Chain A
């Protein structure tokens, strides 16, 4: 039986994921999947894991991306802590973008690896590796002398 997901959202109380989908006949259905035992302190990754591996829900969730499920769980959990939806969405957006002034040295392992994953997308996009057309081991480019300032050097700072 094939499931065509349309929308996936949340119900706060009691916590549940709510999925609307078309079934194989094209009929629209809604399925509510309670998240049992979910608290302020539950691990998001683990909860997502147990949801998608739950035999009752598995086939409905297999076409929903893991990041989306985790994001929805996070929204429920932040709501339990009394944090508004807007605030949570803002925080999630911050985590998934690179702020050029944010000191990544201060992040924990999980937060840092999330940032690295975002940067890896650029890395992979422009990457030339052995076997790719035009790959050369030694790529030497002599750039012309600079014609403008970077704006990153502060004249008043003796270090730059």
Chain B
């Protein structure tokens, strides 16, 4: 049971206000996990949530002198089921979209990932990372239009020798926190309201926990 502790609702409530969620997307074997591992280095034990087929890395940092808890979500191979479970996208604040410069198909598949992302999260910031540049540094002289076309930051990175990995993740964290503070997305605003509820210290047996469900039912019956 210990492995599921971070998903415990009580913990989630405490953390939610100052936490951001960053997800990684892209084909199998483009290096998503290796990038996260390179950023976090040793000492961070990923939470393997096999039930949900994902890997969760929790990271504490400071953004503009405010403490922030960052949850990095990694697919744990789930990308092979052609689409991700909706919970993967739920309340994400930033997305890192990765392709492998040695394999063209991983670049050609970016629009599919991006499209799926936008179905669930229409307005969160997204960053494009071209990984494995250590295999051939000449690739950094070349233009890849996808990121420009969709107006997203683009980085040449290498999880192997570390090039621009820290820069990529710092920028992702910055964009995620900015998004969370300023989002006008309806669901995000609802989530912010819920955070405010928590601040009022409403006890969990106030009945609020079950209220949304019964409302839903009422709507359907009506």
Listed in ascending order, the chain A residues whose CB lies under 8 Å from chain B are 98, 100-107, 109, 112, 115-116, 119, 122-128, 130, 135-141, 143-144, 146-153, 159-160
Residues in chain A near residue B31, CB distance under 8 A: 123
- In the bound complex, how far is the Cα of B103 from the Cα of A101, in angstroms? 6
Residues of A near B107 (CB, < 8 A) are: 150, 152
Determine the chain A residues whose CB is within 8 A of the CB of B110 once the complex forms: 159
Q: Which 6 A-B pairs have the closest CB atoms?
A: A146-B143, A159-B111, A126-B134, A150-B142, A143-B140, A139-B162
B141 and A138 contacting across the interface, CB-CB below 8 Å: no
CB pair B27–A105 under 8 Å, yes or no, is yes
Could you tell me if A98 and B41 are in contact, using CB atoms closer than 8 angstroms?
no
B161-185 toward A: CB 8 Å interface, digit per residue (1/0)? 1111111000000000000000000
Q: Find the A residue at minimum CB distance from B82.
A: A105
With A98-B103, A159-B146 known to touch, is A112 a contact of B28 (CB < 8 Å)? yes
Candidates B79, B143, B165; contact of A148 at CB < 8 Å: B143
Residue among A107, A152, A159 making CB contact with B144, cutoff 8 Å: A152
Residue of B nearest to A116 (CB): B29
Of the residues A104, A107, A128, A159, contact of B149 by C-beta under 8 Å: A159
Asked whether A122 and B160 contact (CB < 8 A) given A137-B166, A143-B140, A152-B104, the answer is yes
CA distance A127 to B146 in the complex (A): 28
Across the interface, B163 reaches (CB within 8 A) one of A107, A125, A141, namely: A141
Chain A residues near B149 (CB-CB < 8 A): 159-160
Range for the number of chain B residues in contact with chain A: 35 or more
B102 contacts which of A98, A103, A126 (Cβ < 8 Å)?
Answer: A98
Q: Which residues of B contact A124 (CB under 8 A)?
A: 160
Interface centre among A130, A137, A151 (most CB of B within 10 A): A137
For this complex, 23 residue pairs linking A to B, each with C-beta atoms less than 8 Å apart, are A98-B103, A100-B105, A101-B103, A102-B105, A103-B27, A104-B28, A105-B28, A107-B80, A109-B77, A112-B77, A122-B160, A123-B159, A123-B160, A126-B161, A128-B161, A135-B162, A136-B162, A140-B163, A140-B166, A148-B141, A150-B139, A153-B146, A159-B149
Is B42's CB under 8 angstroms from A130's CB?
yes
B104 CB contact (under 8 Å) in A101, A112, A125, A126: A101
Complex interface: chain B residues within 8 A of A101 (CB):
103-105
Q: Are the CB atoms of A115 and B41 closer together than 8 Å? A: no
What is the chain B residue whose CB lies nearest that of A106? B80
**Pick from A127, A138, A140, A153: contact of B143, CB under 8 Å:** A153
Contacts of A160 in B (CB 8 A): 111, 145-146, 149
Min Cβ gap A55→B in Å is 39
Return chain B residues, CB-CB under 8 Å to A148.
141-143
B102–A139 touching, CB < 8 Å:
no
Q: A138-B167, A148-B141, A153-B146 are in contact. List 14 more A-B contacts (CB 8 A).
A: A98-B102, A103-B27, A103-B109, A104-B28, A104-B103, A116-B29, A122-B134, A123-B34, A124-B160, A125-B160, A126-B161, A130-B41, A148-B143, A152-B108
User: Considering only CB atoms, which chain B residue lies closest to A151 in the complex?
Assistant: B142
